[in-house]
Structure 1
Amino acid sequence: MRAQQPVYIGTDSGATTSKIGGVWEDATPVSTNLLQRSTDAHLGPVMVVQGWVEAISTYLEQNDLQWEQVRGVGVAIPGPRRSYGVLERGPNLPESFVGFDVYSAYSRALAERAGRAIALAVGNDGNMGGVAEAQRVRGSSTGSVLMLAPGSGLGCAYIDEHGLPLDGATLAGMEAAHMPAPLHLLGVRPYPCGCGRTWGCVEIYTSLAGLPLLLAEKLAVRPDHPLASLPLSLKERAFALRSLAQQGDQLATEIFDFQARALGLHVATLAMALDPQFVVIGGGLMDTESTSVAFRERYLQQVWEAAYPYLWPAQQANMRLVPATLGDLSQAIGAALVALYQARLAQR
C-alpha cells in the first residue's frame, strides 16, 4: 500500500509563504494539493524553521502518512547563498537571516521531531522549480532541461541527466538572469539592474523588474495612451500591462513582444553553452489562470522565433520549447525530488 511506502518531502520557503509538498519513491507526487502557511519571517529564522517542521507534520497527517516513512527532505531557499545552506543578504528577508545556516538548523529540527537523522537537501528556489518541471517534461528520458521563468525577476535553472540542477563551484551557477543582454540586437540602452550591474542584465528586459522602464520609454512617445495620465507610479501602471495585452492593446502587446524577443535571444545564448534538449518557459506569463491561450501561444512563438536563427541546425531540429505546467507546485515538488535523487545517488 502507498501509505507504507517511503516518502520525500519538499519545503518551498518564500519570504511571505512557505509551501509543503511530497513525492513517492517513484517520483510521483503524493498530492497535487500544497500545504501553505505564512513564513512569518518577522519572527526570526529559528521560528521559521520550527514552522516548517510543524507544517510537515500537518502535511503527513493530511495524507495519512507517518514520520517513519520520511526518507529525505528538501528545502528551496532564495539566493544568494554564502555557502551550502547558508543565506547571504537577500532583498526580501529581514537582517536576522543574513548568515543563517539553514542546513544545520533544519537538520537538527527534523532529527528532533523524527527521532532520527533525516537527509536534507538545500537548493536555490529557482533550481528546485526547474527540477520539478524537468521531471514533468522529459518523463523517463534523460534529456537535459533549461528553464527560464520570468516573474518579478528571471528565474533560471539547468537540469542535468540525473535530474539535478547546476549549482556551480560557488553556488552561483545559472545566475543567468544577470548575464548581459545583446543590446545591439534589441535596440535599447543598458538599464541598471537591482543586482548592481550596469551592463544590461537580461533580467531587466524580460521580467517585471524592467517593465516600468520599458513602459516609460513607450509612454514618452505615446503620451495619448490611457496609462500616461493615470495618477499612479510607473510600477503600479506596469501591473496593468498583462491584462491590457490580452485585450489587444498595441502598446502593451509591443512590450511583451519585446520581452519575448529578449528571452528568445537569451535562450540562444544559453544553448551555445548548455545545449539543452528541452527549454521550459515558466513564470506568471505562463499562468493558465491569469493569461489566455492566445497570449501564451504568442509569447512562446515570439521566444522561439527570436532564438531560432542563432541555434545550430541540429538544435533547430531537435530542441523543444514548452510551457511550464506545475505552477505553485514546482518548487516544493522540486525540493522533494532533489532529496529523492540525492538518496538514489548515495545508494550507488
Structure 2
Amino acid sequence: MEGSVHFVGLDIGGTTVKAALLNESGRQIGVGVEVRSHGSDGYKATFKQLRAAINQLCSDNSIESSNITAVGIDVPAPSSDGVIWGQANLNEDWVGTNIRDEFSKEIHRPCYMTNDGNAAAYGEWILRPGHDGPLLFVAPGTGLGGGFVLGKGQLYEGCNGLAMEIGAISVPFREEDGSLPECAGKGPGSLEAWVSLVALRRRLKIELDKSENFSHPLAQEQISIKEKAFQLRDYCEKEDPLARSLFQRQAHILGWAMGDQASELDPGLIVIGGGLAETGFRDWYLENVRLGFEERAPSFYVNSPIPPHGVTTRFDWAVGGDYAAAIGVAHKAMELV
C-alpha cells in the first residue's frame, strides 16, 4: 500500500460517475472506476453511488477508506459555493442544495466542488506537466462546456463560480432564412446553438429536408433525428459530403468564437475535448477550427509580428480521456489539506 494519504475525484455526469484515486504526490493510483450516477433520482441516490465508487477504488487498490483524506466533486450543472443553481439533467431536489457540504458531512471528509467544465480544464492542465502557462478548454458534447486555467495552475471560476459558460457567448451566424438559432437557456445566436450535439440534430434535420438530400441514407432510415445525429461521426469518417459539411461548419464557428476568446484571455493554448478527440477525422476538424480562428482573431493571436513569427495561440486535443475531470477535482481536493 502506498502511504496513508489519498485523494478521490468524482466526476458526476447525467448517466455515470467516473472516479479517480491519487496518492499524496498527486499521481493516479490504479485505474478509474465508473458507476451509474442516478442523478435524475435525486442527490441522495447519487450520494450512494459516490460512496460505492470510493469503496470500489479503495478495494481495487488495497487501501482503507480511512486513508481518503479529501474528496473533489464536479457536477453537470451551474453551481456557486457548493450550491446547485440549475437543474440541467438532474433531479429538481439538487437545485438550491449545498451538495458539497451535504456530501462532506456524509463522508466526514473535506470536499471541493466545481462544475464539470472547470474540472476537465484543470485536469487537462495537470496532465501537461511541461506546460506552465494558461489553458482554455472547450468541449463540444450534448451541449458545450468549457473552463479556463490561468498560468501557474490557478483555476479561474469567477466571482460566483459561474465563469466560462462558453456555450452562452454570442456568434453572428444565421440560418438560411436569416434567423438566429436558439438553444435552451442560452438565448438566440449562442455558440452552443451551433457547436453541440443538439445543434447537429437541428442542422441535420434542416439538411435532410432539402430535396437534394432525399436520397441520402440517413434520409431513408426510419429512425429518430437523435439516432441519425449519432451516426454522423461514422459518416464523417467515411468522408460523406453531407456529414463533412455539417462538421466543417461547426468547426469553423467554434474556431471563430475562439478568436474572440483569444482577444479576451490570450490563453496561448486552446484544448478541445469531448468525443471528437477520439475520431479519425480530428486532424481535419482541427484544421477547420484553425481556419475559423484565423478569420476572426487579430493576426498577432495567430503569429507573432516579430521574427521568427512564432505561433502565439496553439490548438491541441484533450489528453485526459474520460477521467480528466475526476483527476482535476482530485487535485483540487489536495489543496484542502
Provide TM-score, normalisation by structure 2: 0.90
Determine if contact 1:134/1:163 at 8 Å carries over to the other structure: yes
> Which residue does the alignment assign to 2:200?
211
Q: Given residue 15 of structure 2, which amino acid in structure 1 is its aligned partner?
A: T
Cα RMSD over matched residues?
Answer: 2.2
Distance 1:338 1:185 in 2: 42
Aligned twin of 2:185: 195
Partner in structure 2 of residue 148 of structure 1: 138
Q: Give the aligned partner of residue 25 of structure 1.
A: 24
What SS does the corresponding residue of 1:322 show, helix, strand or coil? strand
Does residue 96 of structure 1 match 2:93?
yes
Distance 1:27 1:185 in 2: 47
Counterparts of 2:193 and 2:40, CA distance in 1: 29
The match for 1:270 among 261, 265, 272 is 261
Change in 2 beyond 3 A, CA 1:35/1:302: same
Q: CA deviation at 1:180?
A: 0.7
Q: Secondary structure at the match of 2:151?
A: coil
Q: For 1:333 and 1:120, how far apart are their aligned partners in 2?
A: 14
Aligned position for 2:47: 49
Find the partner of 1:322 among 316, 319, 327.
316
Q: Which whole-Å CA distance do the structure 1 matches of 2:16 and 2:62 have between them?
A: 24
Tell me the amino acid that sits aligned with residue 57 of structure 1: N
Distance 1:259 1:172 in 2: 25
Letter in 1 for 2:113: V
Pick from 266, 290, 293: which aligns with 1:304?
290
| Matched AA of 1:193 | C
Residues 275 and 193 of structure 1: CA distance in aligned 2, closer, same or farther (over 3 Å): same
Counterpart amino acid of residue 308 in structure 1: E
The 3 A distance-change label for structure 1 pair 105 and 269 is same
Q: Secondary structure at the match of 1:18?
A: strand
Within-5 A mapping of 1:240-251 = 240-251=231-242
Match of 1:174 in 2: 164
Match of 1:58 in 2: 56
**Which deviations, in whole Å up to 9, do the C-alpha atoms of 1:126-175 show, x marking residues without a partner?**
110111112223x1442100011111111111112242432212222100
SS for the counterpart of 1:106 is helix
Cα shift at 1:24? 2.7
SS at structure 2 position matched to 1:318: coil
1-side partners of 2:138 and 2:291: how far apart? Answer: 16
Seq. identity, %: 29
Gaps (5+ residues) in structure 1? 112-117
Query: What are the residue-to-residue correspondences of 1:127-142 with 2, within 5 Å?
Result: 127-137=118-128, 139-142=129-132
| CA distance in 1: counterparts of 2:213 and 2:49, whole angstroms | 50
| AA partner of residue 329 (structure 1) | Y
Give how far 1:184 is off: 6.7
Which position in structure 2 is the counterpart of 1:253?
244
Q: TM-score, normalised by structure 1?
A: 0.87
Q: Which has the higher helix share?
A: 1
**Structure 2 gap ranges (5+):** 303-310
CA contact under 8 A between 1:125 and 1:331: conserved in structure 2? yes
